[in-house]
Amino acid sequence: MAVASPETLRALELSIGSLVQSEFRGQTRVVVPRESLADVFTTLRDKRGFDQLVDVTCVDYLNYRDAEHRFGLVYLLTSVASNERVTLRVYLDEPDLTVTSATGWWEGANWMEREVWDMFGITFAGHPDHRRILCPEEFTAHPLRKDYPLQGRGERHNFPVLTRNQA
Amino acid sequence: MALAASNIRTQDIAHDEQQDYLWTLNFGPQHPATHTTLRIVMKLDGERVVDAMPDIGYLHSGFEKIGESLDYNQYVTVTDRMNYISPMANNVAWHTAVERLLGIDITPRCKYIRTIICELARISDHLLCNGAVGLDSGAFTFFLYAFNKREDIYDIFETLCGARFTNSYTRTGGLSQDITPLVIEKIRKFIQTFPKVLEDMERLVNRNRIFVDRTKGVGILTREEALSRSATGPIARASGITRDLRKDEPYLAYADFDFTVPCSKVGDCFARYLVRQAEMRESLKIITQALENIPAGPINVTPAERTTLPSKKMVYMTIEGTINHFELAMTNRGFETPHEESYSAIEAPNGELGFYLVGNGTDVAYRARCRPPSFIHFAMFPHLIRGHTLSDVVAVLGSLNIIAAELDR
């Protein structure tokens, strides 16, 4: 796995201010404050050539050892030209679970962010099509959260009942 | 046939209301040409597709949630069911990610065997994908040629691990069993017979008027769009992105082999077909080189790493073997993982297949995120099909190689 170059880290430091950076098994992770996410996207895409968004995902740190925040949003970015990778992490806490949508920078973020909304209930400001994607529209919960019950009758009592005449 | 898609928001409702001659067509969820369970609601102007709205989730079975309760070796059975066209590649992707999280370096013999099965899986996947494009655009014989050869690969896998379809062949730090001379014999036979089939396939459709007319210039994806829309694998390479994780981030034993990465600049369905055909030849080259150079030695990491089950001989003859086996097999005893997160990806037949794993000390992942190439590729389907005719839907869908089980997970 290609690590991020020192120039990229310096560019990130300029746009964030103080850089909280760690490395694990050749993977560079940078913690980005929610407010500077848009700046970081612009810096990475336009100045450092990170032209591809590999993945957007989320981790729910409820019950995780030494975790300070509830949710950790993960952006995996790569540069096809320089073969560099960088991982951005944005920590979020309830009740404010809104971040800037990356769709303005990389169109591929569209469905990835819809999945994060569906599974974790994180809202993306400025997303062009903010709907659930895998679960049905009537679904009310966010199933990949750690407090989602694994036992019980499930969600079926929430679903509308259609009779043959209505359908 | 015309169904109102009430819960699907159109992107330009106001615009559509003026043009009331547009009608809505429901494609799927159970349509022979979707091959799997997915639904597209299309707005049609005559035969022309004005807009397409994919509606997915019919096969959502919570694979990522299951990953939070099955341990690292058990979850490999679930990865089989993601892209069931090339389960071996999924197995390898999963355990490559687990081994990265644990910091295990697998043995050279294991690397070679995993490379061989990955490439066989790639051939199997590309055969199905190209075969299906042929089938949907009227080339039935072509499809049968492809499927006949896939049967040979299934036969190899069955001899290798006992399962044809859901292999679950890899284990953390190794493999479930070693490769046998019979398997090597079968792969050699496959290497000898496969080039002729590839040639036959290409002779059938490469200059076939119907096939070329239905795929050339259809569903064009430019390089910029492919980058912005996160395309990877053969789809990105058909659009001129020269990125292949086997070359750019060499994993397993790929750095040892001589092979090229076929690319095209055109980006239409025909280019994707050609790239896949060329990739099968390259895969064959890799298999040939790997098969004749499999290093001797163990397939599993040493028992000292405490991740792989010791051999039965060790379990019954030595006290260390017994203890190791006991420690690994007991619940709450398995191996220890760091409180860390890591992402690891391989070049699966369909594109970059990665797993983002969060370890929490136990042998069960705290979070097991899969980066599914099908999901990301299907997101660009509306963009590719806009302006084409209804009959092009199947050609584009086929050339993106959407596997709904991986799409919905």
Please indicate, yes or no, if residue B158 is contained in any of the structural domains: yes
DSSP secondary structure, B101-121, as one string: HHT----HHHHHHHHHHHHHH
Euclidean distance between CA atoms A135 and A148, whole angstroms: 14
Give the separation between CA B62 and CA B201, rounded to whole angstroms. 38
Residue B252 belongs to a domain: yes
Query: Domain range holding B99?
Result: 85-300
Instruction: Sort out which chain A residues have CB atoms less than 8 A from B225's CB and list them.
Output: 107
pLDDT at B57: 86
The total of other beta-carbon atoms located within 10 Å of residue A100's CB is: 20
Interface test with A, best of B56, B341, B409 (most A CBs within 10 A): B341
pLDDT of residue B18: 58
Tokens of B260: 């090229």
Residues 6+ apart with CB under 8 A from B212: B205, B206, B270
Domain assignment present for residue B192? The answer is yes
Q: How far apart are CA B210 and CA B199, in angstroms?
A: 19
**H or E, element range at B174:** strand B174-175
Place of tokens 């390898």: B92
**Do residues B308 and B173 touch, judged by C-beta distance below 8 A?**
yes
- Cα three-residue angle B347-B348-B351, rounded to 5 degrees: 75
pLDDT per residue of chain B (409 residues) written in tens, 0 to 9 = 334 444 444 445 545 555 567 888 888 787 766 677 888 899 888 888 988 999 888 888 889 999 898 888 889 999 998 888 889 999 999 999 999 998 888 999 999 999 999 999 999 999 999 998 888 888 888 999 999 999 999 999 999 988 888 888 998 888 888 899 999 999 999 999 999 999 999 999 988 888 998 888 888 999 999 999 999 999 999 999 988 999 888 888 898 999 999 999 998 999 999 999 999 999 999 999 999 899 988 888 877 777 788 888 888 998 888 888 888 887 767 778 888 899 999 999 999 999 999 998 888 889 999 999 999 999 999 999 988 898 888 889 888 888 888 888 8
pLDDT score, position A167: 64
Query: Is residue B354 less than 8 Å (CB to CB) from chain A?
Result: yes
Q: How many CA atoms lie within 13 A of B119 on its CB side?
A: 27
Instruction: List, in order, residues 6 or more apart from B241 with CB less than 8 Å away.
Output: A80, B223, B226, B227, B231, B263
As a whole number of Å, the CA-based R_g of chain A is 18
Burial class of residue B62 (count of CB atoms within 10 Å of its CB; 0-12, 13-18, 19+):
middle
- Closest residue, chain A, to B405 (C-alpha): A134
Which of A59, A107, A135 is facing B228, going by the closest CB pair? A107
> Across residues A133-162, what is the average pLDDT?
83
Q: Which residue has the tokens 């284990």?
A: B171
Asked if B110 and B300 touch (Cβ cutoff 8 Å), the reply is yes
Please give the order of strands across the beta sheet that includes A71-79. Answer: A20-24, A27-31, A84-92, A71-79, A52-60
Which of these, A49, A43, A54, lies nearest to A14 by C-alpha position? A43
Would the CB atoms of A25 and B101 count as touching at under 8 Å?
Answer: yes
pLDDT of residue B4: 42
- Is residue B220 a part of any domain in this protein? yes
Q: How far does B335 lie from chain A, in Å, by closest CA?
A: 18
- Residue B41 lies inside a defined structural domain of this protein: no
Rounded to the nearest angstrom, the minimum Cα separation between B53 and chain A is: 11
| DSSP codes of every residue in B190-217 | HHHHHHHHHHHHHHHHTT-HHHHHHHTT
Burial of A32 (0-12, 13-18, 19+ CB in 10 A): buried
Residue B366 contacts A, CB cutoff 8 Å: yes
User: Residue B29, preceding bond cis, omega within 30 degrees?
Assistant: yes
* Domain extents in chain A: 6-158
Does residue B90 contact residue B77 with C-beta atoms inside 8 Å?
no
Has this prediction a pTM greater than 0.95?
A: no
Dihedral angle of Cα A42, A48, A54, A55, to the nearest 10 degrees: -40
Query: Given this model, what pLDDT does residue B19 score?
Result: 59
Domain A6-158 fold: Beta Polymerase; domain 2 (3.30.460)
Strands (E), B4-122: 23-27, 39-45, 48-55
Q: Is residue B338 part of a domain?
A: no
Q: What is the pLDDT of residue B308?
A: 80
* CATH code, domain carrying B178: 1.10.645.10
Q: Do the domain assignments include residue B137?
A: yes
Q: What is the pLDDT of residue B298?
A: 86
| CB-CB neighbors (< 8 A) of A135 in chain B | 57, 60
Residues of chain A with a CB closer than 8 angstroms to some CB in chain B: 1-2, 24-25, 27, 29, 51-55, 57, 59-60, 64-66, 74, 76, 80, 83, 87, 106-112, 115, 119, 129, 131, 133-137, 143-144, 148, 150
**What backbone phi and psi angles, to 5 degrees, belong to B53?**
-120, 105
Of B249, B343, B360, the CB nearest to A64: B360
Q: Which of A108, A143, A144 sits opposite B379 (nearest CB)?
A: A108
Check CB contact under 8 Å for A110 and B379. Answer: yes
B23 and chain A in contact, CB less than 8 A? no
Q: Which ipTM score applies to this complex? A: 0.89
Find chain B residues with C-beta within 8 A of A51's C-beta. Answer: 227-228
Give the number of beta-carbon pairs within 8 Å between A and B. 107
Indicate the helix (H) or strand (E) that contains A57.
strand A52-60
Residue B20 counted as domain residue: no
Number of domains in chain B: 1
How far apart are the CA of B13 and the nearest CA of chain A, in angstroms? 13
CB contact under 8 A, B379 and A111: yes
Residues A97 and A122 sit within 8 Å (Cβ to Cβ): yes
